[in-house]
Amino acid sequence: MLPPSPGRRAVVIAGLRTPFAKAGTLLQDATAADLARHCTRELLYRTELPGDEVDEVIYGQVVPSPLMPNVAREVSLLPQLPKTVPAYTLNRACASGAQAICNATDQIMAGHADVILAGGVETLSDVPILHTRKFSQILAAASKARSLGDRLGLFAQVRPRDLVPVAPAIAEPSTGESMGQSAEKMAKENRISREAQDELAVMSHQRAAAATVDGRLAMEIAPWFGGRGMDQVVDSDNLIRADTSLDALAKLKPVFDRRYGSVTAGNASPLTDGAATTLLMSEEKAHALGYRPLTAIRAYAVAAVDPGWQLLMGPAYAVPIALKRAGLSWNDLGLVEIHEAFASQVLSNVQAWGSAEWSRRLGLPAVVGEVDWDRTNVMGGSLAIGHPFAATGARLVTSLSNEMARRDVQFGLISICAQGGMGFALVLERVG
């Protein structure tokens, strides 16, 4: 057993999230602020934390509304918190929630804060719809026009194609390649079979279904009340399919390469709405307030690859860096959580960690480690639970911390791929 990390430590006290729901379904009428405030409010209630103990709120969001660019501030304006609590919102793509937690960790370790609420939110049912640049310019000019004739002259320049709405694309700005296209390319280049992808998806759904039934996932969820009369109670994720099977998934057609592809809607994470909040403290503050921490943030790392290469291979580089910073090896890990954006992405990174060829490419003396699926994604993953971009990292920290406590596991690892060719890795250490 290694000695504790020197200096101040940031510890995870608890985490809570909304149910995760397929975009356009149960949470479609909620704003990002609604979801983020909901799970944060419930977290404060369950932990009985006095609001005046909170030093800061840090939240992630990948697709913000132009009308609400700083959702973290809307969270910090909850009636349970003083209006003087500062807040900011960040974007590290799919790792945003985890990055918010690590930013909080840095603040705590530096002695700049003792208590921080950190998390992430995404409402992909409510993405901003934009105009073309030409039409936006015409609208701006028309708003400043001095006469009706000037306005009519400007609007006369509008063509039908200018009126077509523009939705945010889930694609790389640098390459134009979508996430799904990248996942398909990775499947081909790394020889990840369709069967292997579907097997991972089935396992994810089966494990998530089991964790829902036995209450492990339910304990992380703040039930949502919807419907016209607020009489519809949503207390579980609506994407989990307990009855899915290899036969059912085999019938789905490839989405991104219809002739030769293997990535389908069944082995890819769906667009999802949801929010997650985590309560972090300095270890000293936690003890002073009478809280028993779950885990401590031992180390984290971010890496990046060329987005035009294998977009979602960043974790292959980030994980060994995080392990080195933590002073650990793969064999020290009792539990692992790998974000499942696509089954092909998960299996490509798993393949790399266990490959001697990849270890040489990374300049490592030995392979990173072989994944033990009995200790990996034990409650399912994003393929089944869903992936509200910025919320996923906070969900993973909460789930892993809780499961490490249940199993009395000393060390756990989180791995997340992210847009831009980035990879994120985080090592947690059991406390207490």
Structure tokens at 274: 């949801």
The one catalytic residue in 38, 205, 339, 387 is 387
d(CA 277, CA 59): 8
Closest CA to 350 of 180, 178, 190, 182: 190
Residue 194 lies in a domain: no
Q: CA separation (Å) from 389 to 151, 230, 242, 268, 364?
A: 41, 26, 23, 13, 31
Which secondary-structure segment (H or E) carries 318?
A: helix 314-326
SS3 312: coil
Known catalytic membership, residue 102? no
Known catalytic membership, residue 287? no
CB 289 within 8 A of CB 395: no
Which secondary-structure segment (H or E) carries 56?
A: strand 56-60
Residue 187 lies in a domain: no
Residue 93 lies in a domain: yes
Predicted pLDDT of residue 167: 65
CB 297 within 8 A of CB 10: yes
> What does the pLDDT profile of the chain (432 residues) look like in tens digits?
344 445 799 999 999 999 999 999 999 999 999 999 999 999 999 999 999 999 999 999 999 998 899 999 999 999 999 999 999 999 999 999 999 999 999 999 999 999 999 999 999 998 877 778 888 888 888 889 889 888 888 888 888 887 777 666 677 888 989 999 999 999 999 999 999 999 999 999 999 999 999 999 999 999 999 877 777 899 999 999 999 999 999 999 999 999 999 999 999 999 999 999 999 999 999 999 999 999 999 999 999 999 999 999 999 999 999 999 999 999 999 999 999 999 999 999 999 999 999 999 888 999 999 999 999 999 999 999 999 999 999 999 999 999 999 999 999 999 999 999 999 999 999 997
The one catalytic residue in 94, 102, 205, 339 is 94
Closest CA to 102 of 397, 400, 402: 397
d(CA 307, CA 425): 18
Q: What is the DSSP string of 80-125?
A: TS-TT--EEEE-BTBTHHHHHHHHHHHHHHTTS-SEEEEEEEEETT
Q: CA separation (Å) from 418 to 199, 310, 345, 409?
A: 23, 12, 11, 27
Residue 364 lies in a domain: yes
CB-count exposure of residue 147 (10 Å: 0-12, 13-18, 19+)? exposed
Residue ranges of the alpha helices (H) in 356-427? 356-361, 382-385, 392-407
Which secondary-structure segment (H or E) carries 140?
A: helix 133-144
Q: How many CB atoms lie within 10 A of CB 285?
A: 20
Predicted pLDDT of residue 156: 87
- Residue given tokens 């992210």 in the structure block: 418
Residue 193 lies in a domain: no
CB 275 within 8 A of CB 11: no
The one catalytic residue in 38, 102, 339, 417 is 417
d(CA 361, CA 403): 33
CB-count exposure of residue 306 (10 Å: 0-12, 13-18, 19+)? exposed
d(CA 189, CA 187): 6
Known catalytic membership, residue 387? yes
What is the value of pTM for the model shown?
A: 0.93
Residue 206 lies in a domain: no
CATH number for the domain including 103? 3.40.47.10
d(CA 54, CA 281): 9
Range of the domain at 310: 10-127+269-430
Residue 292 lies in a domain: yes
Residue 300 lies in a domain: yes
Question: What is the tally of structural domains in the chain?
Answer: 1
